[in-house]
Chain A
């Protein structure tokens, strides 16, 4: 049997005789999985039964079984997010955080570059002033001498 929902890869499972209380009932085959996303699920049963080939699909819907609902709907009083919801929330928040950090970093880099430019200009102006002062001093000394 294969189960699938949305665009997720089908999950292959083997239907096995269910040996419950009193060793079960003939014809009762089961496979187990825990649905982690809400929505419709499709089950495709293949194989052979009593020598006959079986190939049937069952999808949740109005005429079939119910769709899987968000487990939070059944929680009370506090609704807890599922693991996958937490993971996606973390992914989204991480993406936002990274974007914010990158933006801040870019702004900081721009500020730093601007500061470097200003510093360079300041240094150049200072050096020019120094050279001018030295030149003026040299000229003054020469005139005196």
Chain B
């Protein structure tokens, strides 16, 4: 004779509820932010940056570890050609860094396009941004402007259906174990075999469909996928599902012959002291015996435990390829909280389905008792669901903004609304329907109707969760929205006066010759606090240009304590001495600084005529244009020509000129031969690869700087 299981008593239940409530602050505190989708945190080169020198690699830093075999970085030049070298790979010792080497980059604009599968949760994100070498980068590609940190593909209906089936199957199986062990005294209700078969079928179909859906989303060959951590996680999940199905088969096989649903409290010697008998006193004696065809099946304890453990472990395997597995200082706690959440959901929602099955058929007194016991068990389990769910939602939702603005937040709102509906129905059963039944109301229709409603709501919650688990968390979306746009290009210089009383940090944007914005932060040299200046002026003197007199720009104080001004004082390219004049209490002080302007962007028009060298026409900032070409433009001996033209299209005489050539082997000065008033040439020897030329010529006081590049093939 089996020992009856001890039924939970009210005091114990009360303590469980209290413990769950006391755990709330701990769980809230434990809910540390996890990555949840590999979000691009920063990059080198930075998005929208302009570099004077070509980088040797592109390095992206993500919030989660990229999966090496399934993730990629492509770097494209302005012609759409790939310029990266080899496969992107994680940086040794920095698993969140993902890098790809670059070939020899000539001056120009480059687009970095990345697609990453998170090694932690298997989710896919992609995005792109641009940077410039030698020229200011455009603001970014349209996609990068929309989602500079990365975008996640929309959830697919097939993947959502797969997840729903997996959740439903595992939930039913956990529910079977909990219901059999803690509610019905190892007896499963009539029709258990069918329900178990449906549950196992849902889990197997869901697991297989999820694998296929993930493979389609990741878009990688099966072999590559299985060699990755993500693929192995999915494989482990599939194995877990199969083991669970086998355990379910054992359970179904072990279901005994049809027998009356036993009343464990009676087997154990009746209801606990002080607890009213679960059997309504006025239930007619005729209903104590189950009618023919409505039999309950007894089962061994170990079979129930086996199914519960198998389904629970499979839930854990599912969690290990989900949001909770993201990198976090308390990743283990996050996983534990999520696992507890799923187990509690299984015990509650799965148990509801089994309760509905137990309430089926003709009315019997033990059905009321079973419902009462389930109701008592449901209270602490419900508390656990709420606490663990709240803990997970707190750091995934992204606050109020995430709840309102993101798809994740809106689905979470729906889930919470459904959850409250479920709680209301449960409370109605516990405090209205069940007490009424105990007082002798014989009809179970109301209870059945409510439980049926709870099951429908629970199915909806699982459906919402299936979509929710594929969406980027609200926090991800909020962080994306708050992502700072690429900083404007600027020059930054600092200086202090001789007396070391004042520091000036000057920012010049964009820092190219012509109109610029000037922003100065004036602080005390020692304390770093704002200096009580009454006037700040900048005095500009070009270095090495004695014939150009100094000019002054007065800055005005803005609300944020900075001094700002606009002006075209940096009128020519080169080095400038900038002296800050700071007036305030006491004598004025001067702060000398020095800066060098950036190269201004130069539109280059490329003319290709078959059989002739490619002609580059550079529009100069000083007016006029520079034409250049390499003859013949093939590896070996070549001649490069530079000709200056004025705005009327006539050759522009120049006083002197100098030019440099840069290849992958380095940079060298060219020996120029004057072929005309504004026409120069140089004999060069070229190898395959990119070559760029920079030429500076002077006409009177005006300096013309031009550059162009060509690939030699």
Contact = CB atoms under 8 A, between A and B. Distances in A.
Contacts of B497: 85
Nearest to B591: A70
Contacts of B589: 38, 85, 88
B482 to A, nearest CB: 41
Contacts of B501: 88, 92
A37 B498 contact: no
Contacts of A7: 585-586
Tell me which of A39, A40, A91 has the highest count of chain B C-beta atoms within 10 A of its own C-beta. Answer: A39
Contacts of B500: 89, 92-93
Contact of B498 (A36, A73, A89): A89
Nearest to B525: A92
Contacts of B592: 70, 72-73
Interface string A28-39: 000000001111
B581 interface: yes
Interface string A1-39: 000011110000000000000000000000000001111
Interface residues of B, number: 22
B499 interface: yes
B104 interface: no
Contact of B587 (A81, A84, A92): A84
B588 interface: yes
Nearest to A37: B587
A85 B588 contact: no
B587 A73 contact: no
Given A39-B581, A73-B579, A5 B498 contact: no
Interface in B547-594: 552, 579, 581, 583-590, 592
A6 B592 CA distance: 20
B9 interface: no
A69 interface: yes
A92 B499 contact: yes
B526 interface: yes
A96 interface: yes
Nearest to A88: B499
Interface string B588-609: 1110100000000000000000
Contacts of A73: 541, 579, 590, 592
Contacts of A89: 498-500
B217 interface: no
Nearest to B585: A7
A92 B500 CA distance: 7
Contacts of B579: 69-70, 73
Contacts of A96: 526
Contacts of B521: none
Contacts of A85: 497-499, 589
B539 interface: yes
A40 B582 CA distance: 11
Nearest to A96: B526
Interface string B394-406: 0000000000000
B588 A5 contact: yes
A6 B583 contact: yes
A91 B552 CA distance: 30
Contacts of B583: 6, 39-40
A8 B498 contact: no
A73 B592 CA distance: 9
Contacts of A5: 587-588
Given A73-B579, A96-B526, A38 B588 contact: yes
Contacts of A72: 498, 590, 592
A39 B580 CA distance: 10
A134 to B, nearest CB: 59
B537 to A, nearest CB: 8
B588 A37 contact: yes
A21 B564 CA distance: 49
A137 B579 CA distance: 85
A106 B585 CA distance: 32
A39 B588 contact: yes
Contacts of A91: 499
Given A39-B581, A70-B579, A96-B526, A81 B586 contact: no
A94 to B, nearest CB: 12
A23 B498 CA distance: 43
Contacts of B590: 38, 69-70, 72-73
Contacts of B587: 5-6, 8, 36-37, 39, 84
Interface string A61-99: 010000101101100000001001110110111001000
A93 B552 CA distance: 31
Contacts of A70: 579, 590, 592
Nearest to B539: A69
B350 to A, nearest CB: 67
B425 to A, nearest CB: 69
Tell me which of A5, A7, A38, A81 has the highest count of chain B C-beta atoms within 10 A of its own C-beta. Answer: A38
A6 B525 CA distance: 21
A72 to B, nearest CB: 8
Contacts of B499: 85, 88-89, 91-92
Contacts of A40: 583
A22 B552 CA distance: 39
Nearest to A90: B499
Contacts of B584: 6
B498 A6 contact: no
Contacts of A6: 583-584, 586-588
B542 to A, nearest CB: 13
A72 B581 CA distance: 13
Contacts of A36: 587
8 contacts: A6-B586, A6-B588, A7-B585, A7-B586, A39-B581, A69-B590, A70-B579, A73-B541
Given A5-B587, A38-B581, A69-B539, 14 more contacts: A5-B588, A6-B587, A6-B588, A7-B586, A36-B587, A38-B588, A39-B581, A39-B583, A39-B587, A70-B590, A81-B498, A88-B499, A88-B589, A89-B498
Nearest 7 interchain pairs by C-beta: A37-B587, A88-B499, A39-B588, A70-B590, A89-B499, A85-B498, A81-B498
